Structure 1
Amino acid sequence: MLDAWWPTGDPRAALVVVVHGGFWRDGVDRTHTGEECAALAADGFVVAAIEYRRSGGAGGWPATLDDVRAALDAAPSLVAGAAPEGVAVPTDRVVLVGHSAGGHLVGWAVGGGRVPTGVVAAISLGGVLDLAVAYDLRLGDDGRSSAVEALLGGSPSDVPERYAAADPARLGAPGVPVLVLQGGRDDVVPPAVGDAYAAASGQEQLLLPDAEHMDLVDPSSAAWPEVIASVRRAAAEAGK
């Protein structure tokens, strides 16, 4: 399932596919991305927000990852098929943008040598890009389990093969550039998580010192101009 937004400004030659956060848990779905997607469309992008099953419901290992892989592969053709007359969808130039758990999912999707259809770049906004570090920090702990435990069904020592397959920091250099964009005041997914991924993968980092976790997806925040500029750069550089 996905929702689409159409350009309201001068068209840009990229399709942006947005992956929502929420620590992979039931209770947060793609409707959470509405303002973010509308702002990207207002800047001229064709935008799609995908959905996936989540832990606490029918998701978790491996369903969540299977859903994201299938949705990202299918998104370009689905959006092109739904486009209004006169709107060209650049299916061969797709930029992935994921926030929090969605940042993990886009980092994972382009890692390990397999890149979804048409994808040329990925941007992680406060993403959970190192699952082992996130586990150690007990991120998203709801009193029963941390968010990573709920997703993968255990700790790194309990299910090492799942961490090896699902952790972007363990997959080596990604198949396309990944920008690690982080808020310096993020206490939901601290910058140390992105730092660990960048060190392991060699990808570019951008720290916004005064930004909090939700600022990165809030078009009214002081951080948003840098987010939108990063998406523009990713789209432009992919076309060179």
Structure 2
Amino acid sequence: MSNDAQEPTRLTYGEDPSQWVDRYDPTGESRGTVVVIHGGFWQAMYAADLGSRLAADLAARGWTALNVEYRRVGNGGGFPATFDDIHAAINLVDGEGPVVTLGHSAGGHLATWAAARQRFDEWSGGVEVTHVLSQAGVLDLTSAYDENLGGGAVQSLMGVGPDDPAFDLADPMRHVPLDVPVWCLHAPDDTSVPISQSSDYVQAATEAGATAELIEVTGGHFDLIDTRTKAWQQVVDLLDTIDA
């Protein structure tokens, strides 16, 4: 690491207690911004502390990192409030260079969704995402709904079934092809989110002409958010390929 991370600055984007971002700034010139979106099947019991070490590590490597908290199911979240919050949080990005969304599990869903959000009137305008890194992301909401992934997590998030038009707005699988590259990091032995969520997305995206790649990692579902692991180093290595 070439830079030391500073203490984060708390920014708010709404009046709800969950509408905030911690911004970690590098000590030197920023390479760009990574927006860190935590997972937890969109449930209120999981919070942004899952992303704080990732954001600090990224800032130490020269990135401006935004660790995002947002309304989740159980504290005012769900469709569309959770999506509104991610849109607003990304719009706090202030600086030059690439804007990368990095999300784990349900956060991988939101990170990938964010790259398509401006297609829709509900989230038009604002800061554009230039690259996506999905860490074991839930990228096919329809199949996740049908498979009862996370004990009905998608049902709780959406409040409706896949035939409802809301899924057209919310499901990354329905947004291919994206105009930006997507890297899907996933472990074959992930027992929380099956690797098919990533592999099926990448297949659909590449067949549609998009730039998307599946990167298999080790360590199940959680090594991707442990900065001491090989899986996290693979995230860092991908970020190093992005030109400022």
For this structure pair, what is the TM-score category when the shorter chain's length is used for normalisation?
0.7 to 0.9
Contact 2:198–2:214 (CA<8 Å) still a contact in 1? no
Identity of aligned residues (%): 38
Contact 2:113–2:171 (CA<8 Å) still a contact in 1? yes
Q: Alignment length, in residue pairs?
A: 216
What's the CA shift string for 1:39-63, capped at 9, x where partnerless?
Answer: 1112111111122111122011111
Give the aligned residue type for 1:126: A
Normalized per residue, the structure richer in helix is 1
CA distance in 1, matches of 2:29, 2:229: 24
What is the aligned counterpart of 2:179 among 171, 175, 180? Answer: 175
Name the structure 1 match of 2:104: 99
Name the structure 1 match of 2:115: 110
Question: How has the CA–CA distance of structure 1 residues 113 and 6 changed in structure 2, closer, same or farther, with 3 Å as cutoff?
Answer: closer
1:64 Cα deviation (Å)?
0.7
Name the structure 2 match of 1:61: 79
CA distance in 1, matches of 2:79, 2:118: 20
What is the aligned counterpart of 2:146 among 123, 133, 136? Answer: 136
Q: Which runs of 4+ in 1 moved over 4 A?
A: none
CA distance in 1, matches of 2:179, 2:127: 12
Name the structure 1 match of 2:212: 204
CA distance in 1, matches of 2:24, 2:117: 30
What's the CA shift string for 1:112-171, capped at 9, x where partnerless?
Answer: 664851421111111001101211221111xxxx110000013324xx211111000001
Name the structure 1 match of 2:236: 228
Give the aligned residue type for 1:174: L
What is the aligned counterpart of 1:18 among 7, 32, 36? Answer: 36
Contact 1:128–1:189 (CA<8 Å) still a contact in 2? yes
Name the structure 2 match of 1:150: 156
Q: CA RMSD in A?
A: 1.8
Contact 1:2–1:48 (CA<8 Å) still a contact in 2? yes
Q: Which has the higher contact order (CA 8 A, sep 6+)?
A: 1
1:220 Cα deviation (Å)?
1.1
CA distance in 2, matches of 1:67, 1:218: 25
Question: How has the CA–CA distance of structure 1 residues 116 and 24 changed in structure 2, closer, same or farther, with 3 Å as cutoff?
Answer: farther
